[in-house]
Structure formats: C-alpha cells, structure tokens
Structure 1
Amino acid sequence: MTVVAAILDPYITDWLNLLIRSLHVIAAIAWIGASFYFVLLDQSLEAPTRVEDLRDGVGGELWEVHGGGFYHVKKYKIAPPVLPSHLAWFKWEAYTTWLSGFGLMVVLYYLNARAYLIDPEVADLTPWQAVAISVGLLIAAWVVYDVLCRGFIRHRVVLWILVVAFTALAAWGCAQLFQPRAAFLQVGAMIGTIMAGNVFFNIIPAHWELINAKKAGRDPDPFPGVVAKQRSVHNNYFTLPVVFTMIAGHFAFTYGVERAWIVLLVIMFVGILSRLFFNLRHQGRTIWTIPVSCVVVLVALGVAIRPDQTATGTGSATVSFREVEPIVEQRCATCHSVAPTQSGFSTAPAGVVLDTPEQISARADDIERVVSSNSMPLGNVTGMTDEERTALLAWVVQGATQTP
C-alpha cells in the first residue's frame, strides 16, 4: 500500500481530490434534491378533479408555481394509457454520487490508509487489511439491509428498529477498527451504498417493469412498485445522516471524543427527525415538537461533549514556547508546512501552516482543539506522545503567548 501511495504524486492526489470531490458534491446535490422533491410531490398530491384524468388512471395531481410559471403535475396509479416518447429518468445522479464517493475513498483513504484510515491505538491493522475490511463492510451493509427489508417488508416499525440497530452496530464496529474520522465516513459510505443499491437493484427495475408491462399489453406486477416506494422513502430519510458524515471531518469536536460513535448516532437521529418534520409538513401536519426536540437534543449533546478545559494543564508547571516549538516541528509541521515532508501531502491540510512561532501562536486554539480530541496527528503517524500532548495543552491553557 505504501508503494502505491508513493507512486501517486501528492500534487496529482490534490487535483484528483478537487475534481472527484466536486463531481461528488454536484451529483449528491442533484440526487438529494430529486429525492426531496419527489417525496414532497408524492405527499402533496390531491385527488384529480377532471373526469378525463380519472378515466385515464390519474391517482393525484399538484399545481405548482416556480420560476415565473405554473406547472401541473400528475401521477398515474399505474401507467398512462399511452407511453410518452420521452421519459426523464432519475438514476444517474445516484450512480455518479456513489462512484465518485468511492473514488474519493480510494484516492484519499485507501491509497494512504496508514495516515487516514488506520489508528494503531484503535486496531492493529495493515493498510491492506484496513482497505479490505472497509470494502467488505460496504458490501455487507447492502446485503444485511436488503435481507432485512425482504424479511420485514410488511412490518415497517420492526424494520426501522432493525435498521437503526444495524446502524448502531456499524457505528460501534467501525469505531473499533478505524481512526475516528475515518469511522464516521465509513458508516456514511455504508449507508450511501445502501441508497445506491436501492436505486440500482429495486427502484429502477420497478420502473422497467411498468414500462415493459405497458409495452407488452399486460398488467404490471405491483410488488416491485411497492418495494421501490419503500426503498425510496428509506433513501429520503438516509440523506441527512449521510450528508453529516460527508462534512464531519471538518469538526473534530464531534469525532474526537470518547465514544464518538454515540455522537454520530445522535446527530444521525436528529437528521432523520428533521426529514420527518418536513415530510409530515408536506402532508399538512406541522408538528413543532419535532424541531424543538432536535434543538434540545443538540444542546444536550453539545454540553455533554464540551471539552473539560480545567484538566488540560492550568495547574501544571509553566510550559514555555521553547518547549512547545520542537513538538510542533516534529509532530505537526511535517504536514502543516509550506513544504510538507510527510508522504502523501504536497500542501498544508486546510491551509494551516505552522512553520514560524507567529503562525504557531496564532493557531493555539486550533492546536488545543485537535490535540485534546486526539484527532491530530492523523492516525498519530508522527508518534506524538501523551507527554507532548499534555505539554501542548498546558501551553495553550496558560496563555499561548510566549514566543522567542
């Protein structure tokens, strides 16, 4: 794995990161937007008023205004009397999102697994083992979820309980295998794989069943449509939890705490409740206790995981900048430098440079946050010791103003 990482020039990696990430974000916006819109549409339909529509099998309609014009949308119970010559499909957004997301996993995590995926303090894994486990978990996520759906398709409450329990198990398990930031992303990738699998294996085949039945002049099998609707609703609720895992890497205070997997589950739960609020609102049911509950939960979570600054060195001996500077130079500036020496980096991550005393002092609060949460150095690749962490934190708490 390290040989492969060495072959891939860091500057090329940066460009691949930019291009694939841009494609991933654009495709995800399109996919999530379509999901949100069609759930809104489906839950806002009203009974048709025209006799012709009833005769043609229209199950619901909705008048909309947008972009300076009116739109009249109809949904057929099964299919229109005559198939149109052109149909707009909503599948490439899903496929592109998953493929680009997996591409990012390869470029950023798999090809540099020792820095981004593995934490020796969490699990003793080689890069190949970590990558194999990660890919295996993606496959297992779809298989387990699909089996649960097939077995409990008529028991929605039981199915949701089992899906939540499986997600909790996945969050806990990934926390035992990977470094915290990677664990969050792994869980999100597993759910994203489930969502893409729903589109590829269930939703799109159900559409083809409708089209082929209409072309053949036979009644379509209703079961694929029932399954497709169920999986589409699931995808709608999965979206916000997955979005959080996509951005969580920028917020070390969420994944750098003890039992971070519980933090992940709580924030995912808030995301699901948020979608529930809007989905019910589309049906004309506005339940304000839902967003209020979300706020209460987030405030409680914020209080629970707030760092204990009283334990970071206020009572210890004074730590001078001269003691801190070599620690930063050896453990941090190998990546966070104008000219990084750490393999896999061509520029300082997030633009954070720690080359000079002034730059180090200016970033004291950032240093305190990532060091106290153990989120930096990544996978502790530079071998920062507990004593060095304590010294850094004590220096920050004591003022972090001393420079040569």
Structure 2
Amino acid sequence: MMDPIILMDWAGFAIRWLHVVTAIAWIGSSFYFIALDLGLQRAPGLPAAAHGEEWQVHGGGFYHITKYMVAPERLPEHLTWFKWESYATWLSGVAMLAILYWAQSELFLIDPEKLALLPWQAIAISALSLTIGWLVYDALCKSPLGEQPTVLMVLLFLLLVVMAWGYNQVFTGRAALLHLGAFTATIMTANVFLIIIPNQQIVVADLKAGRAPDPKYGKIAKLRSTHNNYLTLPVVFLMLSNHYPLAFASRYNWLIAALVFLMGVTIRHFFNTKHARKSWPWWTWGVTAILFAACVWLSALGTQRLPDDETALTATQARFAAAPGFDAVRDAVMGRCTMCHAAEPSWEGIVTAPRHLALDSDAAIARAARDIYVQAGLTDAMPPANVSYMEPEERAAIREWFRAANGAQVASN
C-alpha cells in the first residue's frame, strides 16, 4: 500500500505545478495587454470608433492590432476571451491551500502561541477571510471613490496592510503570508469573474442586439484591470514566500509584505510609464532598492520562534513527541542534524540554522516531524550529500516512528 504522505506530497506537487503554469499564463497576458494598451498610437486611416493601433513583430511575423475604446461597429465572427487563465490560477491555488494548509492545519496553519484553534476553526477563518477583501474593495470601487483612482489605490493598500497584520495574529508566519497572497489573488480573480468579463458580455450583447454599447462598462473594466496589474508582482512574492523563512518567520513579516506591495507599485510604474512612451522613470529603481533593503533589515531584527517547552505543541505534535521510537529519532537527529539545525550551529560557515529550523529540542523535533520524515526518512535529501553519515537504520527508525505516531498502516519499504 502506498504511503499516504507520498501521495499527498505528489498531489501537492501536481497542484503547485498547475498553479505555476496557469499563473504564468495569466500574468503574461495581463502584462502584455497593459503594455499594449499603453503603447497604442493614433494614426491616419483608423476607423472612427478605434482608439489606437500598434504594430508588433514576433516569431517571424508582423501583427497589426487595433483597439476600440467601446466596441467595433459589428461583432467579429471570432472573439477570443481571456478569462480561463485567471480562473484556473485561482482554483488551483485554492486546491493547493486545501492540500497543504487545511489538510495539515495543525502542522502548517495553527500557531498555538498566537491563537489556540481547532482545525475546523482555523479552516473556517482561512476560507471566510478570503471573501472579506473583495467585499470591501468592490464597495469602495462602486462608491464615489471609484472616480479617484489614486485615493482608491491608497485605501486598497491600507486594506492589504491591515489583513497582513491580522493574518499574522492568527496563523503561523508561513501561513500568514500565503493567505495574504490568496486574499489578494481572490480580489484579482473576482475582478475578472464578476466585473471585467460580465461588462464585456454586456457590450457583446448590445452589439448583437444592434444597440450602441455604453462606454462606462469598458471604463470600469479598465480600472479593475489596472489594479490587477499593480497587484501581480506582490502576489508572486507571496506565492514564493513560504520557501524563505527570512520573509515569513520574521516578527515583522506583515511589514515586509506591506513594503513588497509598494515595490510592486514602483516596479510596475516604471514599466507602465516606459510602455506609454512618456519617460523612463529611473528613480523607481532607487526607491525599489531602498524598499528591498528595508525588508532585509526588518528580517534581521528577529524571527518568530516558538518557545522550546512542550506546552506550545499542538495535539498532533504532542502525539509525535510521545510516539514509540521517539528516543531513537531524537538521538539520530541530535547526532546527524543539529550541527546545522540548531540555535547556534557548529558547522563551519553556517551562522543560522537553514530555513531557521532548529532541531535541538524534543519540542522542535516534534514540530518538524513531517519534514524530518520526508527529508530524512522517505528520502535522503537530508543531510545534504549525507555529510553526517546518517545510517539506513536511522532512516528506518524515523519512518517507523512517524508512521506509528500518524496511525498509518503502511507496509515497510
């Protein structure tokens, strides 16, 4: 019988792969159309309803693109819709959230030092919180503030900062930044699903019925598309943040996230201004570098580490600490891993524990049970190149201990 942990890891890998591929498609089309829109030129001979044109060369061919601000006089026979890239990215992201965080909430989602939650409570907060941003943001866009794009962007930024702080009060640092990314991506996808596409469908329906489409629908859709453009780069950062403890494990991770959103604005401002052929605002590079340096500085001020006492363990983690075979696993980890994975590493050249993962106490080993099982039990990924000579018997002891604690009835390899 296949080990369920192996199946879960491969399922997570497959969903992550799908998520990355669809995100590339969505981000690519978003960046392309913003650049195209900003670079449009007025030229003699354009149809009366046309806003501008652009000539491009790619892949050995030339492309002539014309944009209609509202709509052409008649509906073309073939019309390509750009929507499934966004939908697939969000759906695969939610699936990944469920597999990696909801199904393993006691390991990756719940931080008992912040808020002692039952798994169902943590999952409910996780799921419901994703809708809050869209409801507030959509209400702001539909208010008179919708006519003041700069004010609206500032309010959206404040909303994101508040949510970053709030997530950090409830979840683990890793889960907090991941949820902030999901929160932002939900706003972006809802923009596509509930505003941009429906507005375009209204215009198409008017064309089919022989009516003149109302230009307000295109204006609204463009505003939401522009917001998505500025939010894209921070969301990519948040998607990747779970691989970098200096970002998520800092007690100031919510401030780091806020600065990353500002970096998204400065970077996109440079490219959007360049594509509009207005200027090359090189000052944005300096501002971005300063913001990044501030993130580095904040990360060095301290990490969020749980105390090494047993009271900080969740029920699942406590079960690992009390499981048969724990003593043998502790001896193996202490002997083969703690020269690097310790509060004060002894391995030459290593100043802080890799991934900020210290394994120098019973509580720390119990918290990292799944990582130890996958990295040193199921595979020989750790220690790297087996530099500390972990024996096959020690790896077998890790597998037996984890399976006993996890209640899995899996045949030995």
TM-score (structure 2 length as normaliser): 0.75
Is the 1:256–1:375 contact (alpha carbons within 8 Å) kept by the matching residues of 2? no
Note the alpha carbon deviations across 1:308-332, whole angstroms, 9 max, x for none.
79xxxxxxxxxxxxxxxxx9xxx9x
| Cα distance between partner residues in 1 of 2:218 and 2:57 | 29
Alpha-carbon deviation of 1:366?
Answer: 8.3
Match of 2:122 among 127, 130, 145: 130
- The structure, 1 or 2, with the larger RCO (C-alpha pairs under 8 Å, 6+ apart) is 1
Alpha-carbon deviation of 1:375?
Answer: 11
How many matched pairs?
A: 339
Match of 1:209 among 202, 206, 210: 202
- 2:70 corresponds to which residue? 78
Match of 1:263 among 256, 260, 279: 256
Consecutive unaligned residues in structure 1, runs of 5 or more = 1-7, 310-326, 336-340, 343-353, 385-400
Does the alignment pair 1:32 with 2:27?
Answer: yes
Consecutive unaligned residues in structure 2, runs of 5 or more = 304-308, 322-331, 369-386, 391-413
The 4+ residue runs of structure 1 with deviation greater than 3 A are: 354-367, 369-372, 374-377, 401-404
Alpha-carbon deviation of 1:272?
Answer: 2.1
Taking only aligned residues, the RMSD between alpha carbons, in angstroms, comes to 3.1
Match of 1:14 among 5, 9, 22: 9
- 1:321 corresponds to which residue? none
- 1:42 corresponds to which residue? 37
Amino acid at match of 1:306: A
Is the 2:252–2:299 contact (alpha carbons within 8 Å) kept by the matching residues of 1? no
Secondary structure of the 2:52 match is strand
Note the alpha carbon deviations across 1:139-185, whole angstroms, 9 max, x for none.
11111111111112111122112111111110010000100010001
Note the alpha carbon deviations across 1:321-356, whole angstroms, 9 max, x for none.
xxxxxx9xxx9xx99xxxxx79xxxxxxxxxxx858
- 2:236 corresponds to which residue? 243
Moved more, 222-231 or 95-104: 222-231
| Cα distance between partner residues in 2 of 1:66 and 1:251 | 37
Amino acid at match of 1:296: I
CA 129–38 in structure 1, closer or farther in 2 if over 3 Å, else same: same
Does the alignment pair 1:61 with 2:57?
Answer: no
CA 154–308 in structure 1, closer or farther in 2 if over 3 Å, else same: closer
| Cα distance between partner residues in 2 of 1:179 and 1:146 | 28
Does the alignment pair 1:218 with 2:211?
Answer: yes
- Between the aligned residues of both structures, percent identity stands at 38
CA 24–242 in structure 1, closer or farther in 2 if over 3 Å, else same: same
CA 267–380 in structure 1, closer or farther in 2 if over 3 Å, else same: farther
Secondary structure of the 1:176 match is helix
Alpha-carbon deviation of 1:371?
Answer: 4.0
Note the alpha carbon deviations across 1:48-92, whole angstroms, 9 max, x for none.
321xx233x221000111111111111013222232111111000
Within-5 A mapping of 1:340-379: 357-358=335-336, 360-361=338-339, 364=345, 365=350, 368-371=353-356
Note the alpha carbon deviations across 1:192-224, whole angstroms, 9 max, x for none.
000010000010011111111111011112222
Secondary structure of the 2:67 match is strand
Secondary structure of the 1:153 match is helix
